[in-house]
Amino acid sequence: MEDLNVFGHIKLAPPDPILGTAEAFKKDTHADKVNLGVGAYRTDEAKPYIFKAVKEAEKRILADPTLNKEYLPMRGLDSFNSLARELLLGKGCAAIAENRVATIQCISGTGSLRVGAEFLKVNVNPPAVYVSSPTWGNHLTIFKKAGCIVREYPYWKPETRGIDIEGMLNTLSSAPIGAVILLHVCAHNPTGVDPTPQQWDQIQNVITQKRLIPYFDSAYQGFASGDLERDAYVVRKFVNEGSQCLVSQSFAKNMGLYGERIGALHIICRNKVTAEHVLSQAEIVVRQMYSNPPLHGALIASVILADPALTQSWKVELKAISERIIQMRVRLLEELIKLKVPGDWTHITSQIGMFSYTGLTSQQCENMINKWHCYMLKNGRISMSGINTKNVAYVARAIKHSVDHSPKL
């Protein structure tokens, strides 16, 4: 009998542009290699960081004889859901008091977006989902996977290395009624450029007038500015001004719980009855995908958020982390100026959050990777958390060499 290769027709998948960079970095044995692709915080010693508040929460969880390993309900851990909601929307939020926020614990930000996308497709069937150009690559595929039509709105203006607010508003103005508009709450990935409060007003006006559905992606609350309240500005503004919207919330970056996969989906509804119906439908989505979410990360986050002293110590650490990143922006800019690298590099310090969109061409990025072992995305995005006091001068020299030897096209 012929020996059939049942799976032999399957082709090798192309490496993920972000995770593939991490793999290539790992394989490189060069002493000076730098990981500028990493989407996770690194200390000044280039090491992963575990929050002291997380360690303390884990100690308490281990010592608690009342806890067990039973399944969670489809919606997740109730204490986590309400604390996560309050962290995002703020104490005294009317939508919370009126019980019109449907919250479901999800598998971090990605899982939340996937559940949100599926929920929308099944229950709302929007004419299109608009994402910024550029955006975090997974946004496009997550919504496409759910069967949504994905379109882009302009966001980045290379000439100013800032927002293309006119292009964005024009595209949103011509979007069909009921289209979903995906917005990054803060620390836009990959550009590091957020709208100003005035620009958010303009965006909100178009969304309201054109009856579009805002969908906020909150992956960096507190990580961007070091201030949880400030980083939640736009979500709170929309919700407090009556917006019905969705929010995907992640605790990967701001609690350093990358591997725990802890996040939530919040759907802000017109009234309590609608929120109950919405939650029941979101639970069906979860039931069919993975039944119920994991427990451990939800326990860690809720132990931290339920104890004011622990919350305070977490906030202090979060501030220190975001300050290190801001400091590295300043140091990198200083080095680039010192080396007289052609061009204006002030966007390095005006951008915010984990990433900087350097403006390097793909040819220049290749030079960074191949000649200097500085691993980064080919679209010019670098992770500021990969930069530290020991390698900042080296990275600046790499940028200088890449710019000098591979001029802009």
Ligand X SMILES: Cc1ncc(COP(=O)(O)O)c(C=O)c1O
Residues of this chain that bind ligand X (CB under 6 A): 39, 108-110, 136, 184, 189, 217, 219, 250, 252, 258, 263
Nearest approach in angstroms of CB 99 to ligand X is 26
Question: Around Cβ 122, how many Cβ atoms within 10 Å?
Answer: 15
Among residues 164, 194, 217, 231, the one annotated as catalytic is 217
Minimum CB distance to ligand X smaller for 140 or for 398: 140
Strands (E) in 174-294, as ranges, are: 180-184, 213-218, 245-250, 262-268
Minimum CB distance to ligand X smaller for 146 or for 252: 252
Residue nearest to ligand X (CB): 109
Residue 358 half-sphere exposure toward CB, CA atoms < 13 A:
31
Minimum CB distance to ligand X smaller for 257 or for 396: 257
Among residues 33, 253, 314, 372, the one annotated as catalytic is 253
Number of helices (H), then strands (E), belonging to the chain: the values are: 16, 13
CA dist 182 and 129 (Å) reads 7
Nearest approach in angstroms of CB 371 to ligand X is 27
Strands (E) in 269-402, as ranges, are: 355-357, 374-375, 381-383
Nearest approach in angstroms of CB 100 to ligand X is 25
Minimum CB distance to ligand X smaller for 224 or for 252: 252
CA dist 379 and 365 (Å) reads 8
Minimum CB distance to ligand X smaller for 216 or for 314: 216
Helices (H), 70-164: 78-89, 94-97, 108-123, 137-145
Paired sense of beta strands 262-268 and 101-107, if any: antiparallel
Q: What is the DSSP letter of 307?
A: -
253 is catalytic: yes
Nearest approach in angstroms of CB 115 to ligand X is 12
Nearest approach in angstroms of CB 40 to ligand X is 9
Helices (H), 339-391: 347-350, 362-370
Active site residues per annotation: 136, 217, 253
